[in-house]
Structures are given as structure tokens and as C-alpha cells.
Amino acid sequence: MRSMFRNSALLSGLVTQDQVDEAIAHLRSSGSLSATAVELDDSLLAARLVEKGILTPYQADQIRSGRTKLNLGPYIITEWIGQGGMGQVFKALHQVMGRESAVKVLPLTKSTPEAVNNFNREIRTQAQLDHPNLVRAYDAGRDGNVHYLVVEYVPGTDLRRLVRSQGPLTQQQAASVILQAARGLEHAHQRGLIHRDVKPGNILVTPKGIAKVSDLGLAGFMNEAEADPRAGKIVGTADYLSPEQIRTPTEITHASDIYSLGCTLYYAVCGKVPFPGGTARDKARRHCEETPWHPRRFNLDLHEEFVDVIADMMEKDPRNRIPTASEVVARLEQWAGDASPIAARSAIRSPWTAPPLPAAPDGEDRADNLQDTDGGEPSSGLESPSQISQLSQASQQTASQGAASQETLPAKPGRIRPVTAGATGSGSSALSSASGIFSTPISKWPTTTVVAVTLAVAVPVSMFVGALVASVLFYLMR
């Protein structure tokens, strides 16, 4: 019985002849395949092998496309996870140990000498770290011309997708996740490492509420700046860049990660990035010059003392910022409690076909899983601090939302007067943080309440006026 899929499946080594024969016999006995059929329906055979757990859906799709190599060294590729900051990420199973892992692969199309050096740098960096709140590196290797890094597979989702699927986290949930991330960063900082790309997409959250910091592709050691090919360049993601990453990228310290973690905490409780809308340059300028909306504008359940922690993490001047990740842990402990499950709606995987192993076409993230970056590559278009100084200072407005990576609609245009320390107001109408970092005022009533009250007053009045006009017209026409 002829079947291209059967031949490819046998060549892959993932399926035996006995397993193929059993699948064909089942299809015949169930009536899905006639006893006299000359050609075998590949889709039926593939579906049966997937149903029996012999192949994964990803493997079946790849084999149906004629691809028979589905391994990297001893790792059998079982699923495509997504596009990471430096390459494709796959889920894999070790042939001997049976351990599930995530395999980061540098695509052949990007295997330039510089890219290979950066990839090897990430491997060496991650190999020096071992902490429960950091994604652990297990192995690294080369299969032909394909370079790969094997890291811990973390079930669940990343913080960005979690917030996008269920909305802002509660104060306790956000404190727990960010506190754990701070513990992981403290471990890295103690070894002289600066992450440089802390953001929601690089914080993975398991179904049990355990958080792990991932993706060290842009990380660098403070004492090895001269050996870093990206030294002097602005690297990171525009929504979470610290002012010093923009102004003096050669002089950043661990405090830069604290600022980015503060922006991440802001996003977790607000569901919005601090400075939405606009280009990467717009965002960079605003990180240096402007203050974001007060978090309670978007989440009235936040305590003011909790908002103070966010403000202290997001201080423009690193000298006034919370100096260490360990202090972030201490400040958040009273709000966090123990790690607990965070319910998230099931993500629907895109119907687009996953790329083959190991190379894949460039594009946006298409998988809703872990090890993904949040919505694209790290920020581009900002090569040096001199570019920032050339930005226009005239307008405080941001462009309307365009790219998929823009998390939220822009805030109202124009600079909002920041509240200084000690400012007071009536009730919640003038919310402020101790540091005065957040823009105010905000209404003490939710927008829906204001709309409801307005309609309740306007509708009866308009009906009365209409009746009065009708009466006058009726009287005049008599």
C-alpha cells in the first residue's frame, strides 16, 4: 500500500513497521480504510499515530511535509514552542533520560559569526546560574551546522500572556510573581550579571504560581564590558528600558534591572505598559523625561504603600531607586504571601503551521506558550545615546497604537503635572505616591459609574424638554 507519509515516518526512526501495520489494521477494522484500497490516506494514518501517542501533532505535520530529521543530537523534537530573542525554541525529549526540555536553536539563516558568538555567550552565561527562580541550562551542543542550547522546560505561560488573557493581576499575585523574579535576579546580580532585558515576556509563570526569569540572550557581566560586542549600544525592549540604558549604556548597573522590573510590576497590576503608543524613540524619550499614569487609575484595589514600591523601583535616577533586588524582595514580602496558582484562560494555538527544525522564517510570535519573548525582538532603531539627544522635545503626545507589540492604547496626550511628595487631595481624587513619580489626578469614581450617573440625569431631562416642546407646538397649531 503506497503512502509517502508511511515511508517518511519509518525513515524518521520515530515509528516502527509494527506500529504502522497496527495503525493500518485499525483503520481497516474501523471502516476508515477499505480492504481493497491501493493508496493509504496519509491524514488517517497520521491521525491514528497521534491518537496512539506514537507521534505528536507537530511531528506528524513535519513528516507529512517530507521532513524526516526530527532530532538535535540526543534530543527528539516534539513540539514548536515559539520564537525566542535569538532563535527558534522547541520542546524536546532526551532519548535516554526521557526528560522534557526546551531547546533554543540558532536558525541557519542567522548563523553569522557574530550571532554564533552571541549565542555561545548566552550559553556560557546561563551555565553559571543555578536558582529555582531562573530557567536552568542543562546542555548545549552542535548538530551539523546547527547550534542549540538545552534549558529547563517550564509549563505554564509567560507574564505578558497571562495578563493579556485574564487582565491585570491582583496585588498579591503580582507581588508574588515579581518577588520571585527579584530573587532570581539577585542570584544573577551576585555573580556580576545584568539581565538587560527584564520584561513580562521573560518571566515564566507555572500553573502553581512559580515564577522563573528566562532569556539571557542580552545579559552581560559588569566586569566583561570590553568583551561584549554590544557594549555602547542600547539593548533591551523599549517598553522596559531604564533611563541609564538609553543615556549611558556603558555605565549601567544592577539598578537598571530594578527599573525594568518596576515597569514589569506596573504592567502586571495595570494591564498596560508605563508609556504605551509611539515608536521606540518616543518610548525612550518618555522613560527619560515623563512620568506614567498613577497605577490606581487602572486598578483601584492597589494600596498606596504598594504603589510606593513601584514608584521607588521606577525612579529615573538610579541613585534614588531601590538599589538591590534583595531590597525589592523585602519591600514586597508583606504583600505577596505564598506562591499560589494563577488561573489563566487556555490559550488557543494559532492555526498557522509551525516552522520546521531547525530553521524557520522570521515573523511574529505565533505560539502561546513559554520561552517566548513578548511580541517581538528586543528594541531596535536606537543604536546610541546620541540618537536620543536628537529627539524632538516639543511634543508630549504619542502616536496611536499600531504594532502588535503595543500593549495598550495611548494615554491622553499632554504632560500631566506630577504630584510632589506630601501632596494631598480630597478622598482619592488626587492619588500620589511618596516619591511623586506618578501622574495625577484621577477620578475617585470608575468611568462606568460616571457614565451611568450622567445618563440617569440626562435621559429624564431630555424627555421632559421634548414633552414641553411638543406641548407648545400643539398649542400654537390649534
Q: How many other β-carbons are positioned within 10 Å of the β-carbon of residue 111?
A: 17
Asked whether residue 104 is marked as a ligand-binding residue, the answer is: yes
List C-alpha distances in Å: 298 to 96, 169, 210, 250.
50, 12, 25, 35
Residue with cell 558568538: 117
Looking at the DSSP bridge assignments, the partners of residue 101 are 92, 152
| Alpha carbon distance 202, 186 (integer Å) | 16
List C-alpha distances in Å: 382 to 234, 391, 394, 447.
6, 11, 20, 37
Give burial (CB, 10 Å; 0-12/13-18/19+) of 421.
Answer: exposed
Q: What phi-psi label fits residue 278: left (phi over 0), alpha (psi between -120 and 50 degrees) or beta?
A: left
Catalytic residue among 42, 143, 197, 239: 197
Contact indicator for 72, 105 with CB cutoff of 8 Å: yes
Residue 382 CA, distance from chain mean position:
21
Q: Nearest 5°: phi and psi at 247?
A: -85, -45
Residue 365 annotated in active site? no
CA angle 434, 438, 444 (to 5 degrees): 90
| Alpha carbon distance 202, 212 (integer Å) | 8
Q: Which of 263, 258, 214, 274 is nearest to 81 (CA)?
A: 214
Parallel/antiparallel/unpaired status of strands 211-213 and 203-205 = antiparallel
Which of 39-46's residues contact partners 24+ apart within 8 Å by CB, and which partners? 39/1, 39/2, 39/3, 40/1, 40/2, 40/3, 40/5, 40/6, 42/3, 42/4, 42/5, 42/6, 45/3, 45/5, 45/6, 45/9, 45/20, 46/5
Residues of 119-149 as b/e, b for ≥16 C-beta within 10 angstroms? bebbbebbeebebebbbbbbbbeebeebbbb
DSSP string for 130-191: --TTBPPEEEEEEETTEEEEEEE---SEEHHHHHHHH-SPPHHHHHHHHHHHHHHHHHHHHT
| Alpha carbon distance 448, 126 (integer Å) | 48
Contact indicator for 248, 296 with CB cutoff of 8 Å: no
Binding site members for ATP: 104
Active-site residues, by number, are: 197
Binding site members: 104
